[in-house]
Amino acid sequence: MNFVIERLRRTTDTIIGADDLRERLDSGRPLRIKYGVDCTAPDLHLGHAVNLWMMRQLQDLGHRVVFLLGDLTTRVGDPTGRSETRPVLTPSQIDANAASFLEQVSLVLRTDPEVFEVRRNSEWYDAMPVAELLGLFAQVTQAQLMSRDMFRERVAAGREIAVHELVYPVLQGYDSFAMESDLTIVGSDQLFNEQLGRHFQQRLGAPPQVVITTTITPGIDGRAKQSKSLNNYIGLTDSPRDKFGKLMSIPDELVEPYARVYTELPLETVAALADSAGSGGPAARDAKLRLAAAVVTRYHGAGVARAELAAFRQTFSERGRPDEMPSVVVRGDVATAFDLLRAARPDDSNSELRRLLRQGAVTINGVRTDDPAASVDLHADVVLKSGARTWHRITRQ
């Protein structure tokens, strides 16, 4: 059954307990996969979906995702990646958020009861005597909890850690025991908490869960990781058009990781797209179109993706393009950007053409091009715009 681990590897960062995973997959028993979330208002993005798609692969093999709402902890607030104490939520807010969560999750996961189960951690904590909770606390040290990156960063920044936040990882860890988790697939920021899960399972005599952490890619700005506050993310509930547009806006160097992590394109195709993106200009533009189409296909199907591709060209690539424009005929299958400019503007000096390029006044098939040597494929007609309002259609001889 190593093929499962092999398939997951594409988006796997680390596996804690790889031997256990192999053994459990070999056993043929359906595994219980912990998918723990807090109950604040969700806004799942492509980054979250990486984990969901891995779970979906396992569902397709008969394993069961246990969607665990951390409603107990939400009732008292909890620490977040933003290192802020979240507000306490009312039960009806929690219910509304949970419903929204399930709706978003169902864009990727199967939610039929065969392979999907919803639990709340209040199920066990509401029944747990305080003495038992203190008994759990006795099995962890203060230093262990404070070693968590997020806490250390907060201390370094002189910010406070409320005690309920400090103990939150203990609860998240015990959840794994209570729900009999075999495996959980999380972002690396959750590794600490989920390793506490292993700790409690072992202490309490249960087999420890396997923890897989996934590759995290930066947001569409190419810098910080995807987050709502930075508005640099692609949401699962974004329209196909928005997904397409945002993907067209990413820096060239994100084409490779996005294609690898956010699509199922064959890895050879990913490598080819990476090459194209590396050469910039229209080739990079084409690579992004391919990427955007693959992502939209994954969530909305091939038909929608094709329609978005056409719409994108129309709306963004050729904005302001006149219906009629002068034609220029050139020889060969490929040409450089400079060659095209030279052919279109025979009266301008070379230095004048270079200045246009340098100033970003040149677009080829809607893509701004500042490299005179950028290579352009001439198998189809090419639209060249130079300066504010000068358009030419380039046709191969």
Q: Which lies closer to a second copy via its Cβ, residue 196 or residue 304?
A: 196
In whole angstroms, give the CA distance from residue 169 to residue 38.
12
Q: Which of 302, 304, 303, 286 is nearest to 247 (CA)?
A: 286
The Cβ of residue 127 has, within 10 Å, a number of other Cβ atoms equal to 8
Backbone angles phi, psi at 96, to 5 degrees: -65, -45
Instruction: State the minimum distance, in angstroms, from the CB of residue 128 to a second copy.
Output: 5
In whole angstroms, give the CA distance from residue 23 to residue 1.
9
Q: Which lies closer to a second copy via its Cβ, residue 122 or residue 336?
A: 122
Q: Which lies closer to a second copy via its Cβ, residue 131 or residue 388?
A: 131
Please pick, from the candidates 17, 47, 70, 77, the single residue that binds a second copy as defined by CB under 8 A. Answer: 77
> Is residue 122 at the binding interface for a second copy, with CB under 8 A as the rule?
yes
> Is residue 203 at the binding interface for a second copy, with CB under 8 A as the rule?
no
Please pick, from the candidates 113, 131, 303, 397, the single residue that binds a second copy as defined by CB under 8 A. Answer: 131
Q: Which lies closer to a second copy via its Cβ, residue 165 or residue 256?
A: 165
In whole angstroms, give the CA distance from residue 145 to residue 152.
10
Q: Which lies closer to a second copy via its Cβ, residue 11 or residue 73?
A: 73
CB 283 within 8 A of CB 375: yes
Q: Which of 284, 283, 281, 290 is nearest to 244 (CA)?
A: 290
Q: Which lies closer to a second copy via its Cβ, residue 160 or residue 323?
A: 160
Instruction: State the minimum distance, in angstroms, from the CB of residue 141 to a second copy.
Output: 5
**Binding string, 316-355, against a second copy, x = CB under 8 A?**
----------------------------------------
Please pick, from the candidates 99, 137, 224, 231, the single residue that binds a second copy as defined by CB under 8 A. Answer: 137
> Is residue 134 at the binding interface for a second copy, with CB under 8 A as the rule?
yes
Residues between 139 and 168 with contacts to a second copy, criterion CB under 8 A: 139-143, 145-146, 151, 155, 160-167
In whole angstroms, give the CA distance from residue 387 to residue 381.
20
Instruction: State the minimum distance, in angstroms, from the CB of residue 290 to a second copy.
Output: 49
Longest dimension (CA), the chain: 88
> Is residue 72 at the binding interface for a second copy, with CB under 8 A as the rule?
yes
What is the residue type of 378?
L
> Which residue has tokens 């290192």?
83
Instruction: State the minimum distance, in angstroms, from the CB of residue 169 to a second copy.
Output: 10
Residues between 83 and 102 with contacts to a second copy, criterion CB under 8 A: 85
Q: Which lies closer to a second copy via its Cβ, residue 145 or residue 293?
A: 145
Size of the site for a second copy (CB under 8 A): 36
- Span interacting with a second copy, options 1-9, 43-51, 74-82, 338-346, rule CB under 8 A: 74-82
> Is residue 75 at the binding interface for a second copy, with CB under 8 A as the rule?
yes
Residues between 42 and 61 with contacts to a second copy, criterion CB under 8 A: none
Q: Which residues of 97-106 are buried (b: 16+ CB within 10 A; e: fewer)?
A: bbebbbebbe
Please pick, from the candidates 76, 216, 274, 307, the single residue that binds a second copy as defined by CB under 8 A. Answer: 76
Q: Is the dihedral of CA 85, 108, 274, 385 positive or negative?
A: negative
In whole angstroms, give the CA distance from residue 28 to residue 48.
28
Q: What is the DSSP string of 56-114?
A: HHHHHTT-EEEEEE-HHHHHH--B-TT--BPPP--HHHHHHHHHHHHHHHTTTS--STT
Tell me the Cα Rg of the chain. Answer: 26
CB 226 within 8 A of CB 219: yes
What residues line the site for a second copy (CB under 8 A)? 72-73, 75-77, 85, 122, 125-126, 128-131, 133-135, 137-143, 145-146, 151, 155, 160-167, 170
